[in-house]
């Protein structure tokens, strides 16, 4: 008799249904798993046999054939242990319903207990989409699974628990109220707050514009200018995650194994600081067992590259495509996987190798050639994807002491950012974009129209600074965000002149 059990496998942050068929034939005892299993799935044979025996159930005598269907997709991971065991138990006549509406996922210990697995959120989400009504998951993953509404979730601690569930001791379904998690964090949760950053009004305003319009930023300044601290503060002024974004982000962290069982939903926009020694696979994603890279972990949040000019050029270059597309494709044998990667890039760099070019107190010791070579690390095409380039001068101790005014708190800035985002969401509801940074040339024409006076002003500025078409568009996009922050329907002359204050080129070329 052939029995079956349903489970799922992930592809990127999505998942699809897998059917496991078990058959026993009269032959010498052995177990064969077919249907493109990877090593971890193949090793299920030993775990499943011990788990079944040690749970007090009998194990079929003869040759066991386990087929994972569809057969043309590689199956990886350990979540197949439990459904394979269920299929075998059914084969042994244990009363577990052989229906098409119940699925199982989990890794088995040799003693029959069920261990937590990665990717439960996308797996359960995929099962629900495939019409599954009930899913059994490891107890530790139950809350994460229950974030998917409209499917019954049971958390089980052992194989015995599941058999008993269908006999006389039903498990309790796990139910979570998703709204309990959202709005869970407030401004106080952030360690770094703009109120602790003295001075640097222009840089702070640029970061506010970046947060409001989703623009990428590059800060150039001497060591000690506070650019790293400001980059850390940036996360505290971003708008809260919408539910859909939170689920999407949680899927990413779930398959990466970065979800804590007591915090099943990611509720904060991520802030990923990447060091220049990180491997390309670590940043972009990939490797032998491909995992999402930093750019995907930074999805809907911030990717911070400190000392940006120190990054290997090839690493910076591979960032370009994801920055353009908002996703990254990782090619593999038989399958290429797409991971989302819509992040705001914050870059920081010194103005020259020694760090003190343009500093008021310290002398720069670099030659022109050294400076040129250093700055050329950030290529033109990459710069084209960075809307705001700002100079962050180091303040002298006298200047710092003389700053008497209190700095505005992140909470205050965040209010304006949220408001500006709302205006953009409403304006672009039929365009399929969310922020001004995503505007294409056609949309710029439509949404960044200027009156005659402003148009003349920008034309003169374009001639004076010899702005290329791309830079011209950048100025318009930033002006649109500045206008949104001021709750102004139209882009005014003052918004354009403010946008022009932000450097649109590398330090040595301005
Ligand atoms: Zn220097």
168's CB contacts (< 8 A; 6+ apart) are none
Say how many Å lie between the CA of residue 362 and the centre of ligand 1: 9
Name the pLDDT band for 121 (thresholds 50, 70, 90): very high
198's CB contacts (< 8 A; 6+ apart) are 226, 395, 400, 403, 407
Q: Is 383 helix (H, G, I), strand (E, B) or coil?
A: helix
Residue (of 394, 423, 390) closest to 500 by Cα position? 390
Say how many Å lie between the CA of residue 223 and the centre of ligand 1: 11
Say how many Å lie between the CA of residue 389 and the centre of ligand 1: 19
pLDDT for 331 beyond 90? no
Query: What is the pLDDT at residue 264?
Result: 84
What are phi and psi for residue 71, nearest 5 degrees?
-80, -15
Q: Is 468 helix (H, G, I), strand (E, B) or coil?
A: coil
Q: Is the domain of 314 the same as that of 434?
A: yes
85's CB contacts (< 8 A; 6+ apart) are 48, 51, 52, 108, 159
Asked if residues 388 and 210 have their Cβ atoms less than 8 Å apart, the reply is: yes
The domain boundary residue, chosen from 129, 150, 176: 176
In this prediction, what percent of the chain has a pLDDT beyond 90?
63
Pure H helices in 94-200: 120-129, 142-145, 159-166
pLDDT mean over 445-468: 90
Domain count, the chain: 2
Query: What is the pLDDT at residue 405?
Result: 78
182 within some domain: no
Say how many Å lie between the CA of residue 381 and the centre of ligand 1: 25
245's CB contacts (< 8 A; 6+ apart) are 300
Q: Is the domain of 335 the same as that of 475?
A: yes
d(CA 494, CA 125): 48
415 within some domain: yes
Read off the tokens for 131: 């019409």
- Higher-pLDDT residue of 171 and 78 is 171
Q: Is the domain of 128 the same as that of 203?
A: no
Say how many Å lie between the CA of residue 138 and the centre of ligand 1: 57
> What CATH number is associated with residue 113?
3.30.230.10
What are 380-392's pLDDT values in tens digits?
888 888 999 998 9
d(CA 400, CA 56): 73
Name the pLDDT band for 183 (thresholds 50, 70, 90): low
What are 400-439's pLDDT values in tens digits?
788 777 889 999 999 999 999 999 999 999 998 889 999 9
Chain centroid to Cα 18, Å, comes to 26
Say how many Å lie between the CA of residue 353 and the centre of ligand 1: 5
Range name among 71-75, 219-223, 347-351, 502-506 with the lowest pLDDT average: 502-506
Name the pLDDT band for 504 (thresholds 50, 70, 90): low
d(CA 306, CA 227): 9
Say how many Å lie between the CA of residue 225 and the centre of ligand 1: 15
Asked if residues 206 and 183 have their Cβ atoms less than 8 Å apart, the reply is: no
d(CA 38, CA 35): 10
Say how many Å lie between the CA of residue 374 and the centre of ligand 1: 10
Q: Is the domain of 307 the same as that of 383?
A: yes
Query: What is the pLDDT at residue 432?
Result: 86
pLDDT for 505 beyond 70? no
Relative to beta strand 327-332, strand 335-340 is antiparallel
Say how many Å lie between the CA of residue 124 and the centre of ligand 1: 55
The domain boundary residue, chosen from 155, 176, 197: 176
pLDDT for 186 beyond 60? no
Full-model pTM: 0.86
Query: What is the pLDDT at residue 509?
Result: 41
The parent domain of residue 160 ranges over: 3-176
Q: What does pLDDT average to over the chain? A: 90
Chain centroid to Cα 383, Å, comes to 22
Q: Is the domain of 159 the same as that of 280?
A: no
Task: Give the position of tokens 């969401």.
Answer: 425
């Amino acid at each position: 008799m052939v029995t079956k059990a349903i489970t799922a496998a992930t592809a990127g942050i999505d998942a699809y249904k897998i059917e496991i068929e078990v058959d026993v034939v009269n032959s010498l005892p052995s177990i064969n798993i077919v249907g493109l299993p990877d090593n971890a799935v193949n090793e299920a044979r030993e775990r499943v046999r011990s788990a079944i025996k040690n749970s007090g159930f009998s194990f079929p005598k003869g040759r066991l054939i386990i087929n994972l269907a569809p057969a043309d997709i590689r199956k990886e991971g350990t979540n197949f242990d439990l459904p394979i065991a269920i299929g075998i138990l059914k084969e042994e006549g244990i009363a577990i319903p052989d229906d098409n509406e119940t699925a199982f996922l989990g890794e088995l210990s040799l003693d029959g207990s069920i261990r937590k697995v990665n990717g439960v959120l996308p797996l359960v989400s995929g099962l629900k989409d495939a019409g599954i009504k009930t899913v059994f998951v490891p107890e530790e993953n139950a809350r994460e699974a229950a974030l998917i509404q409209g499917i019954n979730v049971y958390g089980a601690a052992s194989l015995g628990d599941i058999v008993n569930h269908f006999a006389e001791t039903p498990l309790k379904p796990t139910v979570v109220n998703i709204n309990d998690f959202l709005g869970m964090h407030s401004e106080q949760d952030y360690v770094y707050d703009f109120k602790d950053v003295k001075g640097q009004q222009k840089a702070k305003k640029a970061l506010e514009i970046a947060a409001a319009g989703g623009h990428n930023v590059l800060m150039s300044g001497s060591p000690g200018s506070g650019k790293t601290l400001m980059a850390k503060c940036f996360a505290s002024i971003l708008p809260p995650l919408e539910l859909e974004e939170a689920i999407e982000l949680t899927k990413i962290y779930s398959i990466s194994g970065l979800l804590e069982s007591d915090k099943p939903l990611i509720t904060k926009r991520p802030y990923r600081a990447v060091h220049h020694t990180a491997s390309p696979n670590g940043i972009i994603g990939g490797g032998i067992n491909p995992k999402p890279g930093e750019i995907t972990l930074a999805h809907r949040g911030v990717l911070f590259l400190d000392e940006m000019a120190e990054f290997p050029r090839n690493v910076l270059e591979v960032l370009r495509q994801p920055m353009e597309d908002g996703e990254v494709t990782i090619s593999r044998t038989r399958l290429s996987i797409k991971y989302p990667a819509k992040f705001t890039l914050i870059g920081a760099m010194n103005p020259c190798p020694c760090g003190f070019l343009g500093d008021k107190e310290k002398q720069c010791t670099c030659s022109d050639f050294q400076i040129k070579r250093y700055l050329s690390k950030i290529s033109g095409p990459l710069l084209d994807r960075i809307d705001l380039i700002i100079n962050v001068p180091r303040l002298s101790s006298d200047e710092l002491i003389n700053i008497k005014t209190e700095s505005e708190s992140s909470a205050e800035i965040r209010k304006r950012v949220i408001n500006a985002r709302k205006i953009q969401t409403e304006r672009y509801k039929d365009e399929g974009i969310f922020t001004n940074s995503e505007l294409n040339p056609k949309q710029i024409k439509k949404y960044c129209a200027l009156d005659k006076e402003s148009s003349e002003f920008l034309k003169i500025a374009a001639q004076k600074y010899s702005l290329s078409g791309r830079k011209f568009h950048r100025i318009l996009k930033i002006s649109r965000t500045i206008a949104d922050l001021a709750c102004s329907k139209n882009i005014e002359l003052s918004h354009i002149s403010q946008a022009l204050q932000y450097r649109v080129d590398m330090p040595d070329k301005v």
